[in-house]
Structure 1
Amino acid sequence: MRVLIVDDEPLARMRLAALVGQCEGAEVVGQAGDGEAALAAIGELSPDVLLLDINMPGLDGTALARRLGHRAGPQVVFCTAYENHAVTAFELGAVDYLLKPVRLDRLREALARAAQRREAAPKRAPGYLHARQRGEEVRIALDEVIALQAEDKYVAVLHRGGELLIEESLRQLEEAYPDQLIRLHRSCLVPQARLVGLKTLGDGRTLARLAGSELQPEVSRRNLPAVRRLLRMG
């Protein structure tokens, strides 16, 4: 089980990492000191579980859990020094709520629950895009896609491994994967799971922030309300 530790205190992250190392079948694949860094790490590392602190600067733990709540993603185990957020945590779908200092037996129990929930969750068939590269047919999982951008008669697929061209139009892709893609403007679609935030520029333009990428496509005024609704869901 791939574990991402999210806590603004380095010592707390170090202690949790040591505890995870004593849990059979679990490994720490990354650490983050705040919610924004966690969003980027989730897109890059695809963890199975978040060990998530609540009180952090900027995007705190509950806000991060809300942001993740409407999409398939890691199971959340809150690790905090405060008891008064437990009700909110479980309303957000958390697997468990551990009080600091976290005990090894409770951590093992929480990770076991996370594994059981992941196994019980309905499996969505992954979507694939098909392209040709140097005369050979290749397929790219939607989970690997960063953005889809219209270029003349083709669509450029920007993905973790580089860029490919496909012949399907953005409209065809949007209709084929309505629950997995969202339109930013007439020439750009992105996977919903990649969308982590918005950035407003001084000239009034709005850019999309995408997990696991420095690419920041512009969001048109026409599509901005739908993008905002997606970010508020959960």
Structure 2
Amino acid sequence: MSAVDGKVPALLQHASPRLRAMIVDDEPLARRGLEIRLQAHPDVTIVGQYGDGASAIAALRVDPPDLVFLDVQMPGLDGFETLRRIPASAMPLVVFVTAYDHYAIRAFEASAADYLLKPVDDGRLAQALARVRQVRAQRAADAHCGQLLELLGELSGQAPLRLEDALQPDAIERLRREDRLAVRDGHRTVRVDLRRIRWIDAAGDYMCLHLDGAGETGETLVLRATMRELERQLDPRRFPRIHRSTIVNAARVVELRPHSNGESFLRLDCGQELKLSRSYRDRLQVLL
């Protein structure tokens, strides 16, 4: 017997990871009815019931569930507005619950796993849960793949990275020869033409990328990143680290002047002088 028939074998239910579910509906009887029907699914645990979207959002931010049964029509925040206010990092799987089937299209447009019509039918609920389990399994696989691609993208400086690119034998070395640096800055990714970079230095929790620009002083791009992150992404032969807080574009160095204390000063083609500390004297062979 299959999930398509509206039933899920007990063996499959027990083998699946538990689903922590939240019910959000302004009708107490509707919440109670769904709670009773969910008792037939041992792998589903109800972790909260709420009668309005605002209360659900507050609870969800503290303890995100795996699944939310979300009523479409509620006073105040409706189901769609509630969904829009859930942080992306805490977004659970969603099954919309509605008395009107014309909301089904909007439900899928909102990337819901499924939808249920009131009054909820046992067989249709079983189908929705089967779909939720399938989507969750696929989401876990995609997340794992995405984490690997993100790591490879960070190492290569070419995020986001496609799976077919990452599978190439020389993926990292090939991508590090590309002409752009991808830097994650909060929720955005900034891509910078490597040829524009003059030097990079640290300023607290931020990195300053000094670039070619319209004027003599050029342009400075300030991003929330670490020296280690940027150094890991850049080819050390092209962008050696010359100080604990400085990386330089070796192609921009036009003069090297030694100092009596073992340090040296580099002059770039833009006139900027940078210190090469004694700790990084081994980078001289790259710069000469």
Q: TM-score range by the shorter chain?
A: 0.5 to 0.7
Partner of residue 256, structure 2: none
Within the alignment, does 1:43 sit opposite 2:61 as a pair? yes
Partner of residue 32, structure 2: 14
CA distance, structure 2, for counterparts of residue 52 and residue 69 of structure 1: 16
Q: What residue ranges of structure 2 are gaps of 5+ in the alignment?
A: 1-18, 148-203, 208-222, 227-288
Change (3 A) 1:174 1:51: farther
Q: 1:175 aligns with which of 222, 225, 229?
A: 225
Mapping for residues 152-171 of structure 1, pairs under 5 Å: 171=206
CA contact (8 A) 2:60 2:90 kept: no
RMSD of aligned alpha carbons = 2.6
CA distance, structure 2, for counterparts of residue 71 and residue 119 of structure 1: 18
One-letter code aligned to 1:31: Q
Change (3 A) 1:69 1:94: farther
Mapping for residues 70-89 of structure 1, pairs under 5 Å: 70-89=88-107
Partner of residue 57, structure 1: 75
| Structure 1 stretches of at least 4 aligned residues deviating more than 6 Å after TM superposition | none
Partner of residue 143, structure 2: 123
Partner of residue 119, structure 2: 101
Change (3 A) 1:171 1:103: farther
Change (3 A) 1:71 1:15: same
CA distance, structure 2, for counterparts of residue 95 and residue 104 of structure 1: 17
The Cα offsets for residues 51-83 of structure 1, whole Å up to 9 and x where unpaired, read as: 010111111101122333844521110111111
CA contact (8 A) 2:21 2:67 kept: yes
Please state how far the C-alpha of 1:42 moved relative to its aligned partner: 1.0
RCO comparison, higher one (Cα < 8 Å, 6+): 1
Please state how far the C-alpha of 1:14 moved relative to its aligned partner: 0.8
One-letter code aligned to 1:93: S
The DSSP-based 3-state class of the residue aligned with 2:130 is: helix
CA contact (8 A) 1:69 1:92 kept: no
One-letter code aligned to 1:175: A
Change (3 A) 1:72 1:42: closer
One-letter code aligned to 1:105: G
CA distance, structure 2, for counterparts of residue 56 and residue 20 of structure 1: 22
The DSSP-based 3-state class of the residue aligned with 1:123 is: helix
Please state how far the C-alpha of 1:171 moved relative to its aligned partner: 4.6
The alignment's TM-score, normalised by the length of structure 1, stands at 0.52
CA distance, structure 2, for counterparts of residue 69 and residue 93 of structure 1: 15
The DSSP-based 3-state class of the residue aligned with 2:40 is: coil
CA distance, structure 2, for counterparts of residue 113 and residue 14 of structure 1: 22
CA distance, structure 2, for counterparts of residue 15 and residue 174 of structure 1: 49
Partner of residue 26, structure 1: 44
Identity, in percent, stands at 46
Which has a greater percent of helix?
2
One-letter code aligned to 2:96: F
Change (3 A) 1:56 1:171: farther
Please state how far the C-alpha of 1:24 moved relative to its aligned partner: 2.7
Change (3 A) 1:174 1:36: farther
CA contact (8 A) 1:29 1:45 kept: no
